[in-house]
Amino acid sequence: MDRRKFIRVAGGGVIVAASLTSAGCTQLMPEAAVAPWNGPGHETDVRRWLLGYAILAPHSHNLQSWLVDLHTPGEILLRCDLTRLLSETDPYSRQIMMSHGTFLELLDLAARERGLRADMELFPEGPFSPSTIDQRPVARIRLVADSSVTRDPLFTEILKRRTNRSAYEPAHRVPSEAWRAMSDSVKPHALRFGFVGLDQPNVLQRHRAIAAEAWRIELSTPRVVMETYKVLRVGSAEIAQHRDGLFVLDRFPLLMSQLGLFDRSKPPAPDDYATTSQIKDFNARLESTPGFLWMVSNGNDRLTQVNAGRAYARVQLAATAAGIALQPLSQALQEYPEQARPYAAIRNLLNVPQPDSTVQMWARVGFAPPVGPAPRRGVDAQLAGV
């Protein structure tokens, strides 16, 4: 069709977008939005140096809900920014707590690099209830110079870490030594680590099927879609403005947005292109996936959730060191009613029948072309009272 592109819109209509200009082409990630991935550089306050690495931690929906207080010398107080929650997809804030765990793990690795012991007191004013969180601190971290502290080789992977949502190489087997490295990385925490690869094709396909069903449900549940739309940044200008959330730089969503055809004020219908194209694309990525990993905890209190996040941060860094790509699959682990069937299915598949055990993480694993980093708001944006 030469350079003419057809876009199908809701209601079955078709429009022609002829002779695409640069405004309709794939845009570049704004440099300022990913500048924190260059590292913190020189900081007179070592705490800011540590935070320069901690803010690169993975976070659900890339919300970066960490709120840090540095008013007490030698201490870091971590709270949750209650304006950055996912009330629909994460109604009990389990994933938010895990995301605070990933932050704490990267902070600890950075402290070790500077010969500091990060003494972490979780929930110093008491843990949150199982269903809500509040403004009480998640952690108080006191930094102590300690010559016995040893560096952790995972620190060197922090600036390289990415969440890779691309199609993977379907026939590229994850080597046993990579699985072992990821499993070993979890050992500081009381979690059961498991995985499946190409040697179990039937089990692998069951993982794919559950993930596909959970994704379809998420995309066809209106209030859930709207929660995602609120943190979706389309194009470089929106990314530069917010430097958080989910982002789109591909040319067709950009063009649709520029033409007024991507309306984020209301959810798309189940048969709209915005829904069906995402389902088709994600299913293709699942079919390309040669492995899955999971982590299961005994119990699901707030301390367990934070430590599960710390463990996942270590797993992803170990994967990065081995050249392995990871993408968390959160949908089937989410506790909103529409996901009840996939939620039960993944627990059954992973042999987690007990109500007091929880699948804290489930992720696709494989090899993929490298991707760029996600936007980050920077240290100053995470500081309370700044």
- Distance (Å, whole) CA 386 – CA 35: 20
Which among 4-18, 149-163, 264-278 has the top mean pLDDT?
149-163
Q: How confident is the model at residue 86 (pLDDT cuts 50, 70, 90)?
A: very high
Can you give the pLDDT at residue 111? 98
Superfamily of domain 160-216+268-366: NADH Oxidase (3.40.109.10)
Q: How confident is the model at residue 15 (pLDDT cuts 50, 70, 90)?
A: very low
- Decide which of 277 and 35 is more confident: 35
20-33: average pLDDT: 73
70 pLDDT more than 70: yes
Q: Contact, 68 vs 382, CB < 8 A?
A: yes
Q: Contact, 287 vs 209, CB < 8 A?
A: no
Can you give the pLDDT at residue 26? 73
- Distance (Å, whole) CA 71 – CA 214: 43
Express each pLDDT in 314-370 by its tens digit.
999 999 999 999 999 999 999 999 999 999 999 999 999 888 899 999 999 999 999
Fold of 31-158: NADH Oxidase (3.40.109)
Q: Which of 20-24, 210-214, 280-284 has the lowest mean pLDDT?
A: 20-24
Can you give the pLDDT at residue 97? 98
Tokens found for residue 133: 């969180």
Beta bridge partner(s), residue 327: 364
Can you give the pLDDT at residue 167? 98
Kindly list the distances between the CA atom of residue 224 and the CA atoms of 219, 244, 336, in Å, as whole numbers in the listed order: 7, 18, 9
Can you give the pLDDT at residue 23? 46
149-178: average pLDDT: 98
- Let me know if the fold of 31-158 is the same as that of 160-216+268-366: yes
Can you give the pLDDT at residue 25? 66
- To the nearest whole number, what is the mean pLDDT of the chain? 92
* 23, amino acid identity: A
- The candidate with the shortest Cα–Cα distance to 57, out of 360, 373, 273, is 373
Can you give the pLDDT at residue 234? 93
Domain boundaries, the chain: 31-158, 160-216+268-366
304-314: average pLDDT: 98
- The candidate with the shortest Cα–Cα distance to 363, out of 317, 313, 294, is 294
Express each pLDDT in 223-277 by its tens digit.
999 999 999 999 999 999 999 999 999 887 788 777 877 889 999 998 988 899 8
Can you give the pLDDT at residue 9? 41
